[in-house]
Every structure is written in structure tokens, then in C-alpha cells.
Amino acid sequence: MDQTANGILLVDKAEGWTSHDVVAKARRALGTRKIGHAGTLDPMATGLLVLGVGPATRLLTHLVGLDKTYLATIRLGWGTVTDDREGPALDRRDDERAEVSRRIAELASHPAPVFAAANALTGAIEQVPSAVSAIKVDGRRAYDRVRAGEQLELKSRPVTVHAFELDAPRSVSAVGSPVEALDVDATVRCSSGTYVRALARDLGASLGVGGHLTALRRTTVGPFAVEGAVTVEALAAGEVDAAALLAPADVAAKLFPVLDLTPQEAVDLGHGKRLQFDPATLADAELAAAIAPSGRLVGLVRVRNGRTRVVTNFPTPDAPQNGDPQ
């Protein structure tokens, strides 16, 4: 087991893999069981999965709330039980199908209402999560309750959709489709906790035609992009090692103001002591990354009037017991 593995691993998840699959492969490749993730992706989805390895798992708490960017394809024409292509279509009467087909043909010729509907779903909104989601209801995951045949009505919650940008809709006639449909490619930038599946559902509902997600790819989590990620194929082949990990200090410096420590300050902070600085030279911060001269992330601290308080410390298995080397 590699006791020194410590950092953040960016993985480009492939379709069909669960987030648990990715974590399991990473544990095997890196030789450690201490690996967690900063938010899952559905098996159907691809793209950026952020893993924490070793002591850096403590950073995950501060990564899960970051904004995210997705590329999605939404099919307008009918909804599904799961709000994506993996669930069965919701039932419709024949007269409803005829009306939807007429409406789809109208939107294909004059798509302005599609863009207007997306605009209405932009900004600070109240969103009802997809029923088939990981949200717990009375101690059980919503998707377990739905699969057991229960009818759930989840409560809406506030989310922020910073951008819901659509390309021009295109007509599709998929084999087995209940009606003619429109596919729309979208770029979504949103707060953590936003369900893109629910956006697809609500877009279709507002247009009176139903909608569901047919493809989803996460491209960014906060300042981190999928372009810098390793592939699941490389993980599975054992081609990923500790060299692929982002150093905790580098990650923290992307997210928070940096507090450079002296060797003695690094020792003291590592022991949980509060440090005092000149308030005129150190601005208040909810979180700051306290970094030792060696480049090691000692902790995340709150700063008030020049005084620090440790929020999260980051011991490393190979760190000297008396602080960092001079």
C-alpha cells in the first residue's frame, strides 16, 4: 500500500462506469483505500470526476460545493420516469400525442419559444430534483423508493443556473419514438446541487411537449477542467500513479487566498496553535490556504483581525514530526 499517495486526481469518466467503479480502480492503481470523490456522476454521464487521495480527502468537503459546467443533449417530445433516456417514456393518450407532434413541428419552424423557455430557467430558481436521484427521503435514497414502486413528490430547493445556452434545435425521428422530436444541445453552468436532468424535464414541460436528457458530459468543476484528467482506461490498465495527483497546496491555492508561513509558523499551526499577524497586512478570509516553505499545505484557516483559526488541517504521512525542513 502506498502510504504517501496524497493529492487530487482528475478523472474523465466514461459512459457506463459508476463513480464507485472509478474509485475502486483508483484504489487499485494507487495502492491505497483512502480515496473519496467530490460529487458523483450518473453511469450515463461522462466527464470530470474529482477524487481525493490520502490526507487530501479532507479537501473534498471544500470542493463539493463548487460550480460546474455541463454539455448536454435534451430531447423534446416526451418525458421519462427518470428524466433521461434510461427510463421508460411517460404514457400519453393518442390525442395528446397528436398535439405534441403538432407542437414539435411548430417549434422546429419557429424555435424562439425554446430559447425563451431556457432563459426562464436561468438565474436563481426553485428546482424539484429528479425523483430518481440520490436525495434521501426519510433515510432512504429517492431512487430506491421509486424503484420499489413508490410515488414521490420531492420538495423544490433553490439552485442557481448561471447559463443555460442552447444551440439551434434539430428534428429527429428515432426508431421507437412515441412522437417526432427535437434534439437541442446545451451548455449549462450551474451551482452544485443542480440537476441537469430536471432542467431537461422542466424545459419540455414549459413548452408543453415533455423533455428528457439523452447525453451529459461534465467539463468543469470549479477551476478544474476535464482536459487535464486521466482516462478510466488508463486507471483500469494501472497506468496511473501518484505522479498524476495534483498537490493539495496547488489545489487549495486555486480556491483560496494563500498564507505563506515561516518554518516555525508551520510547526505551530500544525500543532493547532492560533497565529497572530498584522491585520494591516493580512485581510480577513473565511478560508485561506496556509502553506509551509516546503510547499506543503499545512491547513485551511479562517482569518479574523490578523488572527488565524484552523478549520481543516492536513497532516501527511511523510511530514517531519517537528515541522518542515528549513
47 near 219, Cβ under 8 Å? yes
Per the rule left: phi > 0, alpha: psi between -120 and 50, beta: everything else, 191 is: beta
d(CA 267, CA 253): 20
Of the candidates 2, 12, 21, 42, the residue annotated as catalytic is 42
Q: Which amino acid is at 206?
A: S
Is beta strand 285-291 parallel, antiparallel or unpaired with respect to 258-260?
parallel
Q: How far apart are the first and last CA of the chain?
A: 29
C-alpha closest to that of 32 among 196, 227, 195, 240: 240
Spatial CB neighbours of 205, under 8 Å, sequence gap ≥ 6: 79, 211
With cell 424539484, the residue in question is 128
Q: Which amino acid is at 221?
A: V
Active site residue 2: no
51 near 6, Cβ under 8 Å? no
For residue 6, the number of C-alpha atoms closer than 13 Å in the C-beta half-sphere is 17
CA distances from 280 to 257, 277, 304 (A): 16, 9, 11
Q: Where are the beta strands (DSSP E) in the chain?
A: 7-13, 35-37, 46-53, 68-76, 123-127, 136-137, 140-141, 157-166, 170-172, 181-190, 211-221, 224-225, 230-231, 258-260, 285-291, 297-304, 307-313
Catalytic residues: 42
